[in-house]
Copies of this chain bind each other. A is one copy, B any other.
Amino acid sequence: MSDSEHDWLRPEEETESETIIDARTAQNNPEVADVVAKIASLRQSIDNVDTAIVSLLAERFKYTSQVGVLKARAGFAPADYQREHAQIERLHRIADEAGLDPEIAEMYREFVVTEAKRRHKRIAENGGDPGVLDVFA
């Protein structure tokens, strides 16, 4: 492997106590080389998961922007606390079943709901003009 492929094993500046691993060290130490290979393989899986999640987020915001346009046209409020309460309980249960810390599922929910609400308000301010869908609303 090239040195550049090993650059990501160099620790950040702040952590002086950390071991510096470079290509030569890895080559001379089979144990380190094995760890390097395992981390590279896990990172490929993490990247694949991120590709799937970002693609799903794209679909989610297309759906929520449609909801935003419908609500704005009908004069419904952008926020809906009954809906949020149901989402919190639902995602908490799904996280438990999936073996995910429910705290992380709640952080995810707050992130997407906050963003969706921000965009719903923008759509409402624009009179529910579907044109705003073109700007990722």
Are A83 and B115 within 8 A (Cβ)?
Answer: no
A24 at the interface (CB under 8 A from B): no
A46 at the interface (CB under 8 A from B): yes
- How many chain A residues sit at the interface, stated as a range, is 35 or more
A111 nearest CB across to chain B (Å): 6
A67 nearest CB across to chain B (Å): 5
Task: Give Cα distance in the complex from A112 to B53, angstroms.
Answer: 11
Where the two chains meet, the residues of A that have a C-beta atom closer than 8 Å to any C-beta of B are 7-12, 15, 18-19, 21, 32, 35, 38-39, 42-43, 45-47, 49-64, 66-67, 70-71, 73-83, 86-87, 90-91, 94-95, 98-101, 104-105, 107-109, 111-112, 115, 136
